[in-house]
Structure 1
Amino acid sequence: MVSLVWAQGASARSLPDFTELVEENSGAVVNISTTSAPSPSSHSGGGYPGMPFDERQLEQLPEFFQDFFRGPQSPFGGSPGRSEPRRSMGSGFIVSKDGYVLTNNHVIEGADEIVVRLSDRRELQATLVGTDPRSDMAVLKIEDGDDLPVVKIGQSRDLEVGEWVLAIGSPFGFDYTVTAGIVSALGRSLPTENYVPFIQTDVAINPGNSGGPLFNLDGEVVGINSQIYTRSGGFMGVSFAIPIDDAMNVFRQIRDKGTVARGWLGVLIQEVNRDLAESFGLKRPRGALIAEVMAGSPAEKAGLEAGDIVLEYDGDDVELSSDLPPMVGRTPVGESASLVVLREGREMSLDVEIGKLPEQGDGQARAPATDQNGPASAPLGLTVEPIPAELADSMELESGVLVTHVGRGPALNAGIRPRDVITEVHRKPVGSVEEFHEVVSSLPDDRAVSVRIVRQGRAIYLVMKP
């Protein structure tokens, strides 16, 4: 009994005390409220996880909270209505004494007026300096800012899984709420953000926390709380923050140039699973498999090919395909990067001059298509024929064979479907039905085989097993 009590006391003494950290940093954390023109969809539910708190979320709250936020003390100024301006709230923090503030883009998106409220209850007008939707970042400037309190910037690259972190923000409009937890994982890739290696934590984050700082135990900002994973609209134990290293890079570019330029390689990549690793001769799944190289891209000029697996980028290992986009994005435009790729079972080094990431929707040019001729069928449980000229033109393909039927067999098990175009089998290009038959006839009987297909304009690798 005595030893148990002592162990509990020792455990309690080992827990961190956040009081000093909060006292020293609360002054540089701000509440951000925005006003925008009324929207016909102001009463529609939803919004993506991590969005600022606004009237659209009131109906998801218990009745007590609905009454509170619709009452005279409401931060929104009364009952919501379609004819009234839309208001929302979020968080942010001051990074310079002259008033630069970092927050999320979704906190201020579409705002006509931005007001920043400090811990001493001062309310100051702020102007939007610039945004970067790709990283969900926004930079504000407090008008007439002078000798304002600032946070201390840390280094997110020094974070370790399991260490304590703390958030300060305004969940549901409750200013200067403090929550703490640990770093759950690093380098998380989310479907909506390819160029941000998110910090995952179990810190309680809710609507209104967006844009607020994530601190380490040294009182340094290591991230910007940005998104949550939720099925209820509230915190469910999984939160995501933008690493401060990436955020400060975006901040400096917006402040100095008004825009953000990211590095661009010009490839479509996919994950290397166990079957693909076996088919490409890797001992274990790792790296980023290049499914397609865009015409005229830095990758094409450097000699990268579809089927290459990127194992290293500028000396850093590429374990997951999601590791590569942030690495490339952080590389200054015009600089050279050294890649180690696996090609035909052998590792080789390539140098590539990084280009500028095109605007969304740009830079997808492909090579011109050519006609195909002649009918035929193929084994493996599938039937193929030459690509009709109009289909080849619409998909911008030079070669390959069109899958017309998939029956039981390795092809069906691999996920190949009718109207897929096969361009490569077992790392050998397929330009005609005859070449397809020739390659298939020489396939090994005892190992997985990679197949490159183009489906709805996008190239992917699949694996056929014997």
Structure 2
Amino acid sequence: MTVRKTGALRRNMGAALLAGTALLGGFVPAFAPQAFAAPSEVMEKGGVADLVERVSPAVVTITAAKNAPDRPVMRDMPPGFEEFLRRFGVPGLPDGQGGGNGGGGRAPQARALGSGFVFDASGYVATNRHVIADADEVTVTFQDGTERAAEIVGEDERTDLAVLKVKADKPLAALKFADSDKVRVGDVAIAVGNPFGLGGTVTAGIVSARSRAIGSGPYDDYLQLDASINRGNSGGPTFNMAGDIIGINTAIFSPNGGSVGIGFAIPSNMAKPVLETLKQNGKIDRGWLGVSLQPMTKELADSLGLPKPEGALIAGVEAKSPAEKGGLKAGDVVLSADGKPMKDTRDLARHVGMVNPGAKVDLSVWRDGKARDLKITVAQAPASPDQRIARGGAAKEEGTEVAGLKLSSLNDQWRERLQLDGDVNGVVVLDVPGDVEGLRAGDVIQSVNNTPVAKPADVSAQVSAAAKAGRKNALIQVRRGDASAFLTIPVKPV
């Protein structure tokens, strides 16, 4: 099964033209929208026709086109052959691609169809970035059939949102955002959009889950819906029963490309500030701390003395970064930011990303068994932060055994083999037992229980200390290439 964006401009020209052709063909049974048995609450109120009639004028179809490169110039053509090509097209190309019906003089276009909605009556339209990415021309079509050329005002790749602007001689029908934090699992959800290029289509269902992660990045926090969402629904709104937007439809989980009742929408509380900022500035300036984050586990929480596995674990701090200047250290666990609980790494990444560069963020961190407060001034996020983890390798050889691990002191020979700088200290892992997850030969243990180690005996002493303290696991900081992370190793009680 795969997670698919529900409307995208294809980079491959042939694939794009086939997709465009498919929009005009017959239905494929696997893609047919699923029937929905409306909840009893909706039936008792006589359906959602009044709501749909009210919101539909603000929901639009978006057509994004990318012009193909100019056709190669054919020189030394026989007399009259140029007129033949103009009238009948280039042999071997299908209609609409310069292959006949007078299409020889037209450059083919890659087209993507998606959805969107007016969120500002002066002509600002919201959609998904992947609907209009790399487009040369964007057209917005309203419910009454009116078409308007649209300007791309701004795009944000990280949240997959974009803002368009159309000229309006009078205020347009616009939609309001609901507070998605108040959305509950089981609430009715009404989706309106343009699946398969059919035009305005309404589907209904419920909110199936909140805070879903689908592997799209640090802003992974979707509402899951069972309303039928298909290709072309991307960028369209999902409403609550008051007619306010709770989410923007973005992706589907599907084994066959069609709806199986699992769709994902960007929550309105995430989308609204991004759209407003794009409208004003055309881009998003994100805050940056300069840390690498690691999810919390039960074993890590136990080794850190935390009562429950929540918070964002700081796996590494970049040199000269805002985090280092503000006193944040590897091994700290961020419990809250500006008074808001940080349940996991996504919470912290989203929160800091929405802080304006130059502003301060108040962090509550767990360090050495107690909470402490830090105030850090965030900086502008780099355009392409490097989050690669270099892989180290090591041959198995004799070493000191500690907690089932075979360890060796880090000497100049190991530094050369592992391509480490001279200022890197720690203990090299030579072999790892099967019950230790995440650790591998070639890793360098730099600290145990947040205490630096330089030889296997140091590791042994800290493991023994963790056992005497009644902990099931010892916390180790591991360096692998240029990256670091925290792992745990099991200890035996004393």
Pick from 447, 457, 477 the counterpart of residue 452 of structure 1: 477
Distance 1:228 1:272 in 2: 28
Q: Residue 410 of structure 2 corresponds to which residue in structure 1? A: 386
Pick from 153, 163, 178 the counterpart of residue 154 of structure 1: 178
1:199 aligns with 2:223: yes
What is the 5 A alignment of 1:41-120?
Answer: 84-120=108-144
Gapped runs of 5+ residues in structure 2?
1-38, 70-93, 389-397
Distance 1:124 1:282 in 2: 57
Which of 1 and 2 has higher RCO (CA within 8 Å, sep 6+)? 2
Q: Residue 364 of structure 2 corresponds to which residue in structure 1? A: 340
Pick from 453, 458, 461 the counterpart of residue 486 of structure 2: 461
CA deviation after TM superposition for structure 1 residue 251, in Å: 2.0
Give the direction of change, closer, same or farther, for the CA distance of 1:465–1:227 in structure 2 (3 Å limit). Answer: same
Secondary structure (helix, strand or coil) at the match of 2:315 reads: strand
Pick from 232, 244, 250 the counterpart of residue 256 of structure 2: 232
Gapped runs of 5+ residues in structure 1?
1-8, 40-69, 365-374
CA deviation after TM superposition for structure 1 residue 196, in Å: 4.7
Distance 1:395 1:125 in 2: 56
Q: Which amino acid aligns with 1:210?
A: S
Is 2:213–2:220's contact at 8 Å kept on the other side of the alignment?
A: yes
CA deviation after TM superposition for structure 1 residue 457, in Å: 3.3
Give the direction of change, closer, same or farther, for the CA distance of 1:30–1:397 in structure 2 (3 Å limit). Answer: farther
What is the 5 A alignment of 1:270-289?
Answer: 270-289=294-313
Which range is displaced more, 413-422 or 87-96? 413-422
Q: Residue 404 of structure 1 corresponds to which residue in structure 2? A: 430
Q: Residue 425 of structure 1 corresponds to which residue in structure 2? A: 448
CA deviation after TM superposition for structure 1 residue 114, in Å: 0.9
Q: Which amino acid aligns with 2:119?
A: V
Once the two structures are superposed, residues 279-304 of structure 1 have per-residue CA deviations (whole angstroms, 9 ceiling, x without a partner) of 11122211111111122222212211
Is 2:326–2:376's contact at 8 Å kept on the other side of the alignment?
A: yes
Secondary structure (helix, strand or coil) at the match of 1:351 reads: strand
Give the direction of change, closer, same or farther, for the CA distance of 1:101–1:344 in structure 2 (3 Å limit). Answer: same
Secondary structure (helix, strand or coil) at the match of 1:106 reads: helix
Give the direction of change, closer, same or farther, for the CA distance of 1:363–1:228 in structure 2 (3 Å limit). Answer: closer
Q: Residue 21 of structure 2 corresponds to which residue in structure 1? A: none
CA deviation after TM superposition for structure 1 residue 307, in Å: 1.1
Distance 1:395 1:26 in 2: 61
Pick from 4, 28, 36 the counterpart of residue 66 of structure 2: 36
Distance 1:15 1:184 in 2: 22
1:175 aligns with 2:205: no
Q: Which amino acid aligns with 2:141?
A: R
Secondary structure (helix, strand or coil) at the match of 1:199 reads: strand
Secondary structure (helix, strand or coil) at the match of 1:304 reads: coil
Once the two structures are superposed, residues 339-383 of structure 1 have per-residue CA deviations (whole angstroms, 9 ceiling, x without a partner) of 22111111222222222222123699xxxxxxxxxx963423323
Q: Residue 54 of structure 2 corresponds to which residue in structure 1? A: 24
Pick from 322, 329, 352 the counterpart of residue 353 of structure 2: 329
Give the direction of change, closer, same or farther, for the CA distance of 1:359–1:397 in structure 2 (3 Å limit). Answer: farther
Give the direction of change, closer, same or farther, for the CA distance of 1:334–1:190 in structure 2 (3 Å limit). Answer: farther
CA deviation after TM superposition for structure 1 residue 459, in Å: 2.0
Q: Residue 249 of structure 1 corresponds to which residue in structure 2? A: 273
- Normalized against structure 2, the TM-score is what? 0.76
Which range is displaced more, 340-349 or 204-213? 340-349
Q: Which amino acid aligns with 1:334?
A: G
Q: Residue 19 of structure 2 corresponds to which residue in structure 1? A: none
Give the direction of change, closer, same or farther, for the CA distance of 1:97–1:89 in structure 2 (3 Å limit). Answer: same
Which range is displaced more, 188-197 or 223-232? 188-197
CA deviation after TM superposition for structure 1 residue 246, in Å: 2.4
Is 2:418–2:442's contact at 8 Å kept on the other side of the alignment?
A: no
Distance 1:251 1:396 in 2: 47
Structure possessing the higher radius of gyration over alpha carbons: 2
CA deviation after TM superposition for structure 1 residue 136, in Å: 0.4
- Between the two proteins, the alignment pairs up a number of residues equal to 410
Secondary structure (helix, strand or coil) at the match of 1:444 reads: helix
Q: Which amino acid aligns with 2:447?
A: E
Give the direction of change, closer, same or farther, for the CA distance of 1:153–1:129 in structure 2 (3 Å limit). Answer: same
- Normalized against structure 1, the TM-score is what? 0.80
